[in-house]
Amino acid sequence: MTSKELKALGIEADNLGTSTGSKWFSKGSLIESYSPSNGKLIAKVQSSTKKEYEKVIEEAEKAQLIWRDIPAPKRGEIVRLLGEKLRELKPILGKLVSYEMGKSYQEGMGEVQEMIDICDFAVGLSRQLYGNTIHSERPGHRMYDQYHPLGIVGIITAFNFPVAVWSWNAALALVCGDVVVWKASEKTPLCAVACQHIIADILKAHKLPEGISSIVTGDKEVGEWISSDERIPLVSATGSTRMGKIVATTVAQRLGKSLLELGGNNAIIVTPSADLKMTIIGAVFGAVGTAGQRCTSTRRLIIHESIYEKVKKSLVDAYKQIKIGDPLDVKNHMGPLIDTAAVDMYLNALNKIKEQGGKLLTKGEVLHGKGYESGCYVTPVIAEVENHYEIVQHETFAPILYLIKYSGELEEGIKLQNSVKQGLSSAIMTNSLRESELFLSQNGSDCGIANVNIGTSGAEIGGAFGGEKETGGGRESGSDAWKVYMRRQTNTINYTANLPLAQGIKFDL
């Protein structure tokens, strides 16, 4: 990426890392952002000090009083402008996502497209923040519920979707009348700086207060400031289950609300009637897309024994076609892992697979030589395992696909699919209506997302996104996920001159 392109996104050599609106602060220690694609330093960002954090929250509190009074459709207009700006900047922001995070350019652009889509969704939503009217049991009474803004929403995001997850939360929170304070992953701070520049310019141009949208920068300490802050009624956190448990416990201690979107251990069940071609494309994209670093990445293939060998052979053949290299080169299917710590985790997982009795069907190794200087490129792995292995029960954020055999009826496959602690995304490949409906029934997948004849990754923003069990239970993005960003109030109005009590109680004085 050229310095001109970076500059167009507001990223200049000594970039700042804390901001309310367009005001930037700079006192904290430096975070260096390296591209995993070539190992080069892109820029340095300053982390937030506690004092700067306090300033951000004070500004956010002030801004919220103004923002919540602006009618929701007018707030929607600001989000519409954000979507417009993102359309314009899509190629260049997509490029930064690809360069700083390491996913393919196509996927970087796809991520920006998700931002645009959620803005469009939120604009429509800004005229549809509906409550219910309820028939009162008392004569001459009217009852309804309505939704009010919550206040400040803290957003904690992971490196793997360095811009989209912010937008899923921010676009909804903003139309709901909340203000947002974002702590991005310290592995992708420049993506956050770029987004902040975009939204801050829009706010400034419309003379809206600083503090409607802010970023704070840093490691988990900054996350702890947010989680323990009573001024922040909702904390939306995306990342590992380990991180989510800490956030959830801290937020719960002050009885705040948390929206958690944590680890997945997503499986595709491949039944005897599955379309093999679709299965292979879905599984390979799900397993190697974003180098296996999506929370919806396909980690397990649960294959019926009658077709197991055939699927295995096709997969191994397909893996031979995968091109690994510079994510900005569109010929490549798979880029690097985020950093060398992730490479160590990958190597560690490969050792554990072997130790626990698994068999690697493709060679798992770190790539060296020209184009691979960053040390973050690895080969994607297919491994034959059993579902109960300790390593299979864990989410390893790397391109490792487990093959697991099931025999007999679909119930056996479903049992294996559900026998993990996580519950994010799941899929079945089948041409049988009975199998498909069983998979989607109460006796089927226990995940927040269950797909038929598509893979586990690549969810659209129109649906609620999130999962059960250790995935944390939160729902972001589409459907009625907006409700968590608002507080519900039930109103009952008596327009008579009498005071009848509910439940028929008599209380005469």
- CB 319 to ligand UN1: min, Å: 20
Residue nearest ligand UN1, Cβ-based: 459
DSSP annotation of 49 reads P
Q: Comparing C-alpha atoms, which of 488, 483, 487, 489 is closest to residue 172?
A: 483
Per-position b or e across 255-275, b if 16+ CB within 10 A of its CB = ebbbbbbbbbbbbbbbbeebe
Distance from C-alpha of 35 to C-alpha of 356, rounded to nearest angstrom? 34
Is 386 among the catalytic positions?
A: no
Beta strands in 262-393 (DSSP E): 266-270, 298-304, 359-360, 381-384
Per-residue binding string, ligand UN1, 225-264, x by CB under 6 A, is -------------x--------------------------
Burial of residue 151, with CB atoms counted within 10 A of its CB: 0-12 exposed, 13-18 middle, 19 or more buried: buried
- CB 284 to ligand UN1: min, Å: 14
Interface pick for ligand UN1 out of 458, 463, 494, 500 (rule CB under 6 A): 458
Residue closer to ligand UN1 (CB basis): 161 or 389: 161
- The neighbour count for residue 499, using CB atoms within 10 Å, is 8
- Specify whether the CB–CB gap between 199 and 80 falls below 8 A: no
- CB 457 to ligand UN1: min, Å: 4
Q: Looking at 62-70, 73-81, 370-378, 454-462, which segment touches ligand UN1 (CB under 6 A)?
A: 454-462
When asked if residue 160 is in the footprint of ligand UN1 (CB under 6 A), the reply is yes
Interface pick for ligand UN1 out of 161, 166, 346, 402 (rule CB under 6 A): 161
Element at 155 (helix H, strand E)? strand 152-156
Distance from C-alpha of 102 to C-alpha of 179, rounded to nearest angstrom? 30
Per-position b or e across 290-315, b if 16+ CB within 10 A of its CB = bbbbbbbbbbbbbbbeebbeebbebb
Residue closer to ligand UN1 (CB basis): 1 or 172: 172
When asked if residue 294 is in the footprint of ligand UN1 (CB under 6 A), the reply is yes
When asked if residue 457 is in the footprint of ligand UN1 (CB under 6 A), the reply is yes
Q: Among 107, 261, 470, 476, which one carries the catalytic annotation?
A: 261
Q: Looking at 7-15, 169-177, 346-354, 453-461, which segment touches ligand UN1 (CB under 6 A)?
A: 453-461
- CB 171 to ligand UN1: min, Å: 14
- Specify whether the CB–CB gap between 389 and 358 falls below 8 A: yes
Q: Looking at 160-168, 179-187, 217-225, 399-407, which segment touches ligand UN1 (CB under 6 A)?
A: 160-168
Q: Which residues bind ligand UN1 (CB under 6 A)?
A: 114, 160-161, 165, 238, 294-296, 457-459
